Chains A and B, each alone.
Chain A
Amino acid sequence: MAIKVSLKINGKPASAEVEERTLLVTLIREHLRLTGTHVGCDTAQCGACTVSMNGKAVKSCSILAMQAEGAEVMTIEGVAKPDGTLHPMQAAFKEHHGLQCGFCTPGMVMNAIDFAKNHPSPTEQEIREALEGNLCRCTGYHNIVKAIGAGARAMAAGK
């Protein structure tokens, strides 16, 4: 049965009529057509679906759309500046080659930005532990770890 869900997405109000069994990620991808958020598993481990909900990185594949009623959700599409300038974390991923196929990347960036808010100068160990919930099959994490460190420092410096 269809039910209405309303939320803010990337700063703008949005609403959709969805089946009650709709996941937040399905709402984002299929109904709102923001396809930057990806689905890479069905057991909440790959983290490709990570978005920010009310300021915290969460896995949108493990949340019902209805649980996001009234929430402020930010997806990867809302991260860069309106003029297209990359966020410092995005820029750090580019500079440090922290992505290859790009599929896990939006989830990595969304998690990294949230992590960096409380870790302005993280250690390698802290970064690796913060990536517990994000899988990448391409990069071997080496450059992702470097990128997140640099991105966090850039965010702290207000770049």
Chain B
Amino acid sequence: MGAPLIGARVERKEDYRFLTGAGQYTDDVELPRQSHAAFVRSPHAHAIIKKISLGKAKAAAGVLAIYTGEDFAAAKLGGLPCGWLITDVNGQPMKEPPHPCLAQGKVRYVGDHVAIVIAETVEQARDAAELVEVDYQVLPAVVDGAKARAKGAPQLHEIAPDNTCYVWAIGDKAVTDAAFAKAAHVTKLEFINNRLVPNAIEPRSAIGSYSRADDSYTLYVASQNPHVERLLMTAFVMGLPEHKVRVVAGDVGGGFGSKIYLYAEDVAVTWAAKQLNRPVKWTSDRSEAFLSDAHGRDHHTVAEMAMDKDGRFLGMRVRTTANIGAYLSTFASCVPTILYATLLAGQYKTPVIHCEVTAVFTNTTPVDAYRGAGRPEATYVVERLVETAAREMKLDPAEIRRRNFITEFPYQTPVALQYDIGNYNATMDAAQKLADVSGFSNRKEQSIKNGKLRGLGYAAYIEACGIAPSAIAGSLGARAGLFEAGEVRVHPTGSVTVFTGSHSHGQGHETTFAQVVADRLGMPIENVDIVHGDTSKVLFGMGTYGSRSIAVGGTAIVKALDKIVAKGKKIAAHLMEAAESDVEFDRGVYKVAGTDKQKMFGEVAFAAYVPHNYPHDKLEPGLNENAFYDPSNFTFPAGTYVCEVEVDPETGSVKVDRFTAVDDFGKIINPMIVEGQVHGGLTQGIGQALLEGCRYDDATGQLLTGSFMDYCMPRASDIPSYQVDTRETPCTHNPLGVKGCGEAGAIGAPAAFINAMTDALGVKDMPMPATPQAVWQVLKNKKAA
């Protein structure tokens, strides 16, 4: 028995295949007789389809079939469903307009699906797609969420007047208004949380195949949650029984939310595979990905914080318009509500909060969860307000936070959540030290000498992870359970295969989960393999998003391990002729207390499969257990980030000079992997604040940032090396004490960065992204004013 694996920096089991080119991503799969699909997409943001002529395209070389919305309607394929019902302030359900896989008479954003063209080769499919003639009657378009409800704005859906999906609110408005009435100071900000394009480097890909032999389908797809994809596709769209559909999501090249959803392309290739009796493959190119992968963020917010004379928070008021795009994507409705407004307490004892969210349809790509999903937007609201308030009240930004930190747990916030545990002063202390905040003034002086501006900003974020207790989620409108499933299969010789409903697309589950299992069973990590991403192998799964994998998926595995250990104890007791109550288990060894009798786990496993000497009257042979785990609460990772920027005032260029992150993720299984998750999240957060911004043309609704030539992805030279550390308050309600770490960086970084920018520039607000031109403009405006 070696050193404990939990807490160790174990190198990843999955790396060898990725480093040698042996990964199997969806586009790497080639099925016999595979055909290829291309989609005809709308070039207009809003238009009526008057006529589609397929003659020329059908006659093109290699074309096998072309299907349009008419074919899908005739086949009675349903629209894409939304998995979360939000109830409007007036008590009515949100407006759920039809979301057809292929347009039914109208297109509502550039990139909307008009037809699927299937041919022998990719290039032939694309050649033919260009020959599909669509006669459009172009309509005026609206792309800006803030303008969608204006009088005379183009209307997207008949059933959603004023393009309004819902108006939703949380908190007590009257009590909040009263708190503002007695405030000594009110800080108010208005800003846009910019729309982002997720851009996992692996573009989406899907291969539908069909077998007449047993009337079954297999969909290979780049997905974060194959079981959910199957459930949505079979039950809500295609009307198929689940046991006839297998969904395989093998290696997936990053997701960040964008691969959670059921997409039109997935349905189209699956359905077409049966029509053609041939596999149909589609792989997005990057240009298509910009148009068709669900986008993230896009809030327009007015936020206010009320304070007493000492900077103690009295109340908070927030009004947000969330642009959800042309249709409701799978989880679009819960992102700007349940995952956003419930986090507005942040780390603070703000006693009353009221938030109203209006979700609007626009002629843009649907918006859904993107790394952090609602929580980055909430943190941005809270932490921009707090930092600005401190400056306005001439308080140290760290001090105003400390005055308001929640210090007693459990803590019930005024916006529905109950934090189980945390220590916000500890992460603040550590972050200030690691960031050398006390040396900032010297560094600033040096920058000034060099003709540069320097600023420092904090963000003390909190997030709700471990999504989610099904009952609570259900009461808030979720149309699915949010538990996770795991299975531990012990083989006769004692090695173990674990099946998990969580999905790894970069997070390293094959290693982290194996550490948990190997540690518990006292075996080398090589003896444990983790299997995920195939509905025909894994019993069930809700997939990976919301930093839930270790807290929910990991716990399901622990629960299955508990059953394995318990059954093993019975077997060991029998083998050692001892009472079960006298048998103890510790990392692979069953011992009879107070004696030198022991049986190794492997011996017990062998006995379970070769049950010659076995308690057949009490036990079944075999050693295979599964468990479903539904958490009792969310987990609440939190931390403090400190960002330091240097600005070249002549050009507007910004250098992120230092970035420090101290997080509390509870117990950590593999610090190396956790740090990697933080680095990646921070870079996406800095990306949002410094570089990335999805832009549409106001007049035409065309996507202006439709490639990496115009949409600025973070590169290695844009960011610094990070200083990261952790503090630990173990989660109180799961056995591993874990909280989740996947999204923290993206949640906390934007506010820390913009707080540093506004400090450097000496302005109240700096819109995201802080591109050189934008910074130059802000400085120019400041000079003029």
Contact = CB atoms under 8 A, between A and B. Distances in A.
Interface of A: 19, 21, 29, 33-43, 45-46, 48, 75-77, 79-80, 84, 86, 90, 93-95, 97, 99-106, 109, 124, 127-129, 131-132, 134-145
Contact of A104 (B14, B17, B22, B201): B201
Nearest to B677: A100
A153 to B, nearest CB: 17
Contact of B18 (A34, A35, A99, A137): A99
B200 A137 contact: yes
B201 A97 contact: no
Given A35-B28, A137-B680, A144-B716, 7 more contacts: A33-B30, A42-B287, A43-B286, A90-B19, A104-B201, A141-B679, A145-B721
Given A45-B708, A129-B717, A131-B716, A101 B19 contact: no
Contact of A38 (B202, B506, B507): B202
Contact of B676 (A129, A137, A143): A143
B14 A102 contact: yes
B202 A139 contact: no
Contact of A103 (B202, B508, B682, B721): B202
Given A101-B200, A137-B201, A77 B21 contact: yes
Contact of B708 (A43, A75, A90, A140): A43
Closest 9 CB pairs of A and B: A36-B21, A102-B18, A103-B253, A101-B506, A140-B683, A100-B506, A140-B679, A76-B21, A131-B716
A48 B203 CA distance: 11
Contacts of A94: 11-12, 15-16, 19
Contact of A101 (B21, B202, B681): B202
B20 A36 contact: yes
A109 B722 contact: no
A134 B714 CA distance: 10
A79 B21 CA distance: 9
Contacts of B203: 39-40
Contact of B684 (A97, A124, A137, A144): A137
A92 B708 CA distance: 29
Nearest to B283: A39
Contact of B721 (A35, A42, A79, A142): A142
B445 interface: no
A48 B25 CA distance: 13
A128 B716 contact: yes
Overall SS of chain A's interface: loop
B201 A103 contact: yes
Interface of B: 11-12, 14-25, 27-28, 30, 123, 199-203, 251-254, 256, 285-287, 505-508, 672-673, 675-676, 679-684, 707-709, 713-717, 719, 721-722, 745
Nearest to B724: A142
Nearest to A110: B21
30 contacts: A35-B21, A35-B25, A36-B20, A36-B21, A36-B22, A38-B202, A43-B286, A46-B286, A48-B201, A77-B20, A77-B21, A90-B20, A97-B12, A100-B507, A101-B253, A102-B251, A102-B506, A103-B202, A105-B18, A129-B717, A134-B716, A137-B201, A138-B201, A138-B254, A138-B680, A139-B676, A139-B683, A140-B719, A141-B716, A142-B721
A132 B707 contact: no
Nearest to B252: A101
A42 B16 contact: no
Given A45-B708, A77-B20, A140-B683, A101 B15 contact: no
Contacts of A131: 715-717
Nearest to B749: A140
Contacts of A21: 123
Nearest to A130: B716
Looking at chain B's contact residues, the main secondary structure is: loop
A124 B721 contact: yes
Nearest to A93: B19
Contact of B23 (A36, A42, A95, A134): A36
B708 to A, nearest CB: 4
A75 B506 contact: no
B506 A138 contact: yes
Contact of A99 (B15, B24, B285): B15
Contact of A127 (B199, B672, B673, B716): B716
A101 B30 CA distance: 21
B30 A142 contact: no
A139 B680 contact: yes
Nearest to A143: B676
B165 to A, nearest CB: 29
Contact of A109 (B19, B27, B28, B202): B19
Given A129-B717, A137-B256, A100 B680 contact: yes
A135 B717 contact: no
Nearest to B30: A33
Given A86-B19, A141-B683, A141-B716, A38 B721 contact: no
A140 B202 contact: no
Given A100-B507, A131-B715, A142 B679 contact: yes
Nearest to B371: A137
A95 B22 CA distance: 18
Contacts of A106: 18-19, 21
Given A99-B18, A138-B254, A140-B682, A43 B709 contact: yes
Contacts of A77: 20-22
Given A86-B20, A104-B201, A135 B708 contact: yes
Contacts of B679: 139-143
A50 to B, nearest CB: 12
B19 A38 contact: no
Contact of B19 (A33, A40, A99, A129): A99
Nearest to A134: B716
A22 to B, nearest CB: 9
B376 to A, nearest CB: 15
A106 B673 CA distance: 20
Nearest to B21: A36
A24 to B, nearest CB: 15
Contacts of B252: 101
